[in-house]
Structure 1
Amino acid sequence: MPGRTVRATAALALALSVALPATASAAPHCASITEATNPDWMAALPDGSSLAQLSIPGTHQSLSLHGGDLTQTQENHGDSAETLTAQLRAGIRAIDIRVRRYDDLFTLHHGPFYQNANFADVLREADEFLAEHPGEVVLMRLKAECTGEIGSCADHNSSLDVGQILDRYRREDPHGGVLYDPAGGAVPTLGEVRGKVVLAVLQNAHGGLLPGRGLGQFTADTWDEYVQDRYEVPTVFDIDDKWFAVRDHLARTAAGDPSRMFVNFSSGSSPVAHPNTVACGAPGIRGVNDYALEHLTGQAPSRTGVVLMDFPGAALVNAIIAANPDRRAAR
């Protein structure tokens, strides 16, 4: 089909010719996350509020800073999880951590690229932030990254599985006490877990959920009901389709069971549509973050659920926080 060939060729040429910055652009939807300051936004919410009821801004591949445009998903505010602290101060309360098993410990990876941070760094930075802001809660998706396949990484010298290594951190790391595992139970209330990092899901390298870990509502059978993660964006001309998936899941969340947590990945990529491009756009092409900011500021949804983003700008973080009941009146 000649039309499709021309379209794909144009997409490839545009993706290769547009030199986007390694960090987010200056447009409001992708302006620096450090322009947002929300270190205590959960503290004003009632203890009885379920985490499922809230609108929670988060980051996808939260500490993926190295490896080039194809793998970088966040602004770089320092290695050893210093970037995490910048995100938490801005108001991010959901994080996506990808780990390699290395000598029965966790190092952080995106594919084959080490991200100059270890899981102990994540625990330290989160624990120190929560000690200073004890009214807050951080949700964590923890996923094994290494499949051993081409383009991925391989685990090294580890006899313990992902769950066993996580439990080792909880027992032995000086900051391990910050971790809270619902152990397959219900979504907790804020009052039950303030000052904690709550394990939402624990996944193996191929995405399978480890039973009895994290929130019990997430199973192989219910994953697609509660989670939108259409991550493949073949070309820059398919960014609209990614946004439609995000928009539809926002509507599903607003109308859904308030006792259930909904998770919406706004991220996407491909070899010719890099994470920054999908999130922030390119000349003549809108990014998902731009669509999302316009949607959230125009419609004031009753609940966004957890939104995991690449390169979220300050305005987008603020808009998600503002969707919480105690914030809407101030919009």
Structure 2
Amino acid sequence: MPPNLTIRNLTATALDLQHIERFAAEHVSRGASTLSNARGALISFLNATDFHTKELKPKGDPVSSSPALHRVEPFSTIETDVPAAEPGAEVVRLTFEADGSKYVADVPAPVGRSVTMRRVDDDGSGDDGRGGGGEFTTVYLPHVGFLAVFSSAHPGSWMSDLGDDLRLSVLSIPGTHNSPACYVALPSVRCQFAGIREQLDNGVRFLDVRVSAESGGDSMPLVHSAFPVSLAGTKYFSDLLAKCYAFLEENPGECVLMSVKREGTGRAGDRGMSRYLRDRYVASDPDRWFTGSHVPRLGEVRGRIVLVRRFRVDERVREEGGGGFGIDAEVWPDNCEDGTVGGGLVRIQDFYEIDIGRNVEKKIALSRAHLERAAALEHGATARGDGEALPLYFNFLSASNFFNATCWPERIAARVNPAIVEYLCTRHGVAGEGEKGREVGDGGTGVVITDWVGAHGDWDLIRCVVGMNSRLIVKGEGASPACAVEVDVEGEKGSEGS
């Protein structure tokens, strides 16, 4: 027997479950061509991604139809008396009412991905979930019968809903690891399925960029360690920037955090690269960049790239920048479980040396623990008495082992990403339910950085992270929290104070 359906409402709107219909399920071939399906299946096999050549859809008329009466208050969870769908054999159609409108969700969704609820009229007609009625996104976990409901932010402009006064520290920001490593490349080198613009359009706001630098040159090829990100020709930093600039022109309410690190075989050092970056790119478009050394408020950086510096900076560049050049992440702790950078301005989980059979579960646990640390932060709180912002939490879900094909980036992502989706949906932001049982503040995630999102339309992880900003929207611009959380940047726990 399937478990009873549990519903978690991660929005500011009360949801009333009013009606339930149960359908026998049928597996229907997707509309894509045979060639496309074959190609998708091959990629799925090689890269451990989940590709469906068939969709699970309701068959015929409902087997049963009954009214329901379950209210799910904002930011709350209930277990209903409704049995969840029998996996693979059944589709349950749920009708909710919210703010006077009706919405329909089928669980599970046709291909098991996050979907936007369909708004319907009393006669059952309505939009297709992509129009003006798309206020809610659902993520369903069939093995536990758990439905999480998020507010549907427009993926390309979700920051526009947030107040200018919010520090980036308290935002829930999805990111990608080795972001431009999305081209045809060695499987140990490629980290992403989707290109930079597709990532940005789907909500990613942190890009991890590695470049090689030559003495006397400023072209800066994109690399992953010593390897180029593409086997089909060199890709350059300038091309990546052009895509970011175009995105920000079209979405001026957004910002992009960009971590830049020197790797590869180029002969220039960090200080030379800092001059190239400043002279060739930042100085030529200063309005497109934020190179301050503090964690900014969102209003300071809309329409701009926020530089996170993972390299040593030339003293002349530092001095001309007023004592800094970007958020200082220069002394990066290696393979860390909870490291600090920049005097505690950044806290990092970047445990990456992994063996799929031995410690992938450790990686998942460390990722969940860092999510919980970030959840304790609260808008308006300070980490120190000098008015500095709370630290930025960088949480790398990525890991790899070059010498073990089962531990290449996409295969680790196939294990870690679904585990983190489940954690975010079921436990994140719930007091006492995290990895360490801590209390929570705003329930944010910090910057969550992952591999291989967007494969075959699977943006669930990005949708979950973005959805965690709802509490900040509720508080509104300029709102003050009921209490502040002082964070010990060296220790495990924070303390609450009024």
TM-score range, shorter chain: 0.7 to 0.9
Report matched runs for 1:3-152 at 5 Å. 20-22=45-47, 24-26=49-51, 38-65=155-182, 66-75=184-193, 77=194, 83-102=195-214, 103-115=217-229, 116-146=234-264
Report matched runs for 1:1-331 at 5 Å. 20-22=45-47, 24-26=49-51, 38-65=155-182, 66-75=184-193, 77=194, 83-102=195-214, 103-115=217-229, 116-146=234-264, 154-156=265-267, 161-170=272-281, 177-182=287-292, 184=293, 186-203=294-311, 212-216=324-328, 222-223=340-341, 226-256=347-377, 257=383, 259-270=390-401, 271-272=403-404, 273-280=407-414, 287-301=415-429, 302-312=443-453, 313-326=458-471
Count of aligned pairs between the two proteins: 282
Q: In the superposition, relative to structure 1, how do residues 171 and 197 fare at CA in structure 2: closer, same or farther (>3 Å)?
A: closer
Contact 1:268–1:275 (Cα < 8 Å) also in 2: yes
Q: In the superposition, relative to structure 1, how do residues 30 and 266 fare at CA in structure 2: closer, same or farther (>3 Å)?
A: farther
Match of 1:150 in 2: none
1-side partners of 2:235 and 2:276: how far apart? Answer: 16
Q: In the superposition, relative to structure 1, how do residues 236 and 178 fare at CA in structure 2: closer, same or farther (>3 Å)?
A: farther
2-side partners of 1:217 and 1:159: how far apart? Answer: 13
Higher helix fraction: Structure 1 or Structure 2? 1
Q: How far is the alpha carbon of 1:277 from its aligned partner? A: 0.9
Contact 2:258–2:306 (Cα < 8 Å) also in 1: yes
- SS of the aligned residue for 1:246 comes to helix
Q: How far is the alpha carbon of 1:328 from its aligned partner? A: 8.3
Deviation sequence 1:116-164 (CA, Å, 0-9, x none): 4211112110011000000001001100013xxxxxxx10578961211
Contact 2:394–2:449 (Cα < 8 Å) also in 1: yes
Identity of aligned residues (%): 29
Q: How far is the alpha carbon of 1:235 from its aligned partner? A: 3.1
1-side partners of 2:171 and 2:363: how far apart? Answer: 23
2-side partners of 1:276 and 1:253: how far apart? Answer: 25
Q: In the superposition, relative to structure 1, how do residues 53 and 22 fare at CA in structure 2: closer, same or farther (>3 Å)?
A: same
Deviation sequence 1:89-110 (CA, Å, 0-9, x none): 0000000000000323311011
Q: How far is the alpha carbon of 1:180 from its aligned partner? A: 1.6
2-side partners of 1:251 and 1:327: how far apart? Answer: 17
Q: How far is the alpha carbon of 1:112 from its aligned partner? A: 2.9
2-side partners of 1:51 and 1:64: how far apart? Answer: 25
Unaligned runs of 5+ in 1: 1-18, 78-82, 147-153, 205-209, 281-286
Q: In the superposition, relative to structure 1, how do residues 240 and 157 fare at CA in structure 2: closer, same or farther (>3 Å)?
A: closer
Unaligned runs of 5+ in 2: 1-43, 53-110, 115-152, 313-317, 333-338, 378-382, 384-388, 430-442, 475-498
Query: Quick check: which has more Rg, 1 or 2?
Result: 2
2:219 maps to amino acid: L
1:192 maps to amino acid: E
2-side partners of 1:233 and 1:295: how far apart? Answer: 21
Q: How far is the alpha carbon of 1:60 from its aligned partner? A: 0.3
Higher strand fraction: Structure 1 or Structure 2? 2
- SS of the aligned residue for 1:262 comes to strand
2:310 maps to amino acid: L
